[in-house]
Amino acid sequence: MNSNQRTPSGDAFAELAISVLRLAGHLTSEGDRLARPSDQTSARWQVLAAASHAPMSVADAARMLGLARQGVQRIADLLEAEGLLAYRDNPAHRRAKLMIPTQKGEAVLADISSRQTAWANALGAEIGEERLRRATALVSDVITLLSDRRTQR
């Protein structure tokens, strides 16, 4: 086989990758729609939600979300300026402060979460739990494979 020709498995992976990228665009648009009534965007919602899971640094949140640290820093600073996020000292690192949602930030998250719950329940009912769980397992496997390959470089 010519090195410029994809195998059937390579074609299937390329189709999956394109579909996941298209899905990501739709999810971002839907996230913006769900966050808009709370005067937020999906990017701001993601950073605030990450910080709500556990106190974490901007770098930790960027790794978890698969985003650039500088972009997360910019969003975190905006959230702090609006009183939705606070920085606290990090006992593990003097310079890397921990992000923690404020009471106002938690209220914004709860507001967005109520809309997201209704949206997710409706879509989940249409697609079906078993199909969604299989799709999640496949995407998780691909993420693990790509992450492992990145650390091997």
What are the domain boundaries of the chain? 19-152
pLDDT tens for the chain, residues 1 to 153: 567 899 999 999 999 999 999 999 999 999 999 999 999 999 999 999 999 998 999 999 999 898 999 999 999 999 999 999 999 988 887 788 999 999 999 999 999 999 999 999 999 999 999 999 999 999 999 989 998 888 887
Predicted TM-score (pTM) of this structure: 0.85
Cβ partners under 8 Å of residue 119, min gap 6? 30, 34
What H or E segment, with its residue span, contains residue 25? helix 8-35
Class in CATH terms, 19-152:
mainly alpha
Measured torsion, CA atoms of residues 38, 102, 28, 63, in degrees rounded to the nearest 10: 170
